[in-house]
């Protein structure tokens, strides 16, 4: 039986969902810790917070912090992605995809940075970043291979195609949307709704409650899923 690598992804990262928070969460607290941090200190500060965060909360914290940095200090985003990936390779895909979801035009840079710091997670990084941007797995694999000849583009593309993406979190953290994963051969499922219901057929794009998604690049929805 073919084994699938598992990559945990926050629903908010994949859907740009609307957060519903009754109290401060580890992610929101982590974002607050970035206030007043200078650009040269940003990567070290983010890594320090991530390392102090329990493993169960790390995906949420990494996604929130990287997205905040990408929105407010884009020039240092690549170094932040690289630093997180080196400090905790299991968070490399989440870091790169979070950055790519905010600055999709730089997805190649983020993928290269994450793969350079955590080459053992290259397939996960390529797979996840291809979900949140218009870039194909093959194109991202080629980009990585050009910078790191030790990673073969064909093999990386194949491995990325075998990566299965699942969801963590709950509807209390984000609402609406789909999270996609590579379906098994012969399967019809293309993903899951937020309540865990399997989805088959053509996906639909996601918007916020007022029908305007302010947290997503305007070109993203045009790409489909």
Residues 6+ apart with CB under 8 A from 121: 85, 89, 90, 92, 93, 114, 115
Helix, strand, or coil (residue 46) = helix
The answer to whether residue 159 scores a pLDDT higher than 80 is: yes
pLDDT for residue 65? 96
β-pairing, 163-168 vs 5-10, is parallel
Domain that holds residue 137: 5-223
User: Residue 95 and residue 132: Cα distance in Å, rounded?
Assistant: 12
Place of tokens 């984000």: 174
Q: Quick one: three-class SS letters along 155-199? A: HHHHHHHCEEEEEECCCCCCECCEEECCCCCCCCEEEEECCCCEE
Among left, alpha and beta (phi > 0; psi -120 to 50; other), residue 211 is left
Burial of 95 (0-12, 13-18, 19+ CB in 10 A): buried
Mean pLDDT score, 88-117: 96
Among left, alpha and beta (phi > 0; psi -120 to 50; other), residue 30 is alpha
User: Residue 156 and residue 119: Cα distance in Å, rounded?
Assistant: 11
pLDDT for residue 144? 97
Q: How many Cβ atoms are within 10 Å of 197's Cβ, its own excluded?
A: 8
What is the per-residue pLDDT across 178-198, written as a single tens digit (0 to 9) for each? 333 333 333 444 444 444 444
The answer to whether residue 53 scores a pLDDT higher than 70 is: yes
Domain count across the chain: 1
pTM of the model: 0.69
pLDDT band at 18 (very low <50, low <70, confident <90, very high): very low
pLDDT for residue 26? 92
């Amino acid at each position: 039986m073919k084994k699938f690598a598992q990559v945990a992804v926050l629903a908010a990262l994949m859907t740009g969902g609307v957060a519903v928070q009754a109290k401060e969460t580890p992610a929101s607290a982590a974002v607050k810790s970035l206030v007043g941090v200078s650009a040269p200190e940003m990567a070290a500060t983010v890594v320090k917070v991530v390392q102090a965060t329990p493993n169960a909360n790390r995906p949420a914290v990494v996604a929130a912090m990287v997205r905040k940095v990408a929105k407010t200090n884009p020039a240092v985003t690549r170094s932040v992605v690289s630093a997180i990936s080196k400090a905790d390779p299991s968070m490399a895909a989440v870091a790169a995809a979070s950055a790519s979801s905010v600055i999709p035009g730089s997805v190649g840079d983020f993928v290269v940075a994450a793969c350079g710091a955590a080459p053992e997670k290259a397939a996960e990084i390529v797979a996840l970043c291809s979900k949140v941007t218009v870039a194909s797995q093959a194109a991202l694999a080629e980009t990585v291979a050009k910078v790191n000849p030790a990673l073969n583009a064909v093999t990386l593309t194949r491995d990325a195609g075998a990566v299965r993406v699942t969801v963590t979190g709950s509807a209390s953290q984000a609402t609406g949307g789909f999270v996609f994963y590579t379906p098994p051969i012969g399967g019809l499922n293309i993903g899951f709704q937020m309540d865990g219901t399997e989805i088959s057929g053509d996906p639909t794009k996601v918007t916020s409650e007022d029908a305007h998604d302010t947290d997503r690049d305007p070109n993203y929805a045009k790409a489909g899923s």
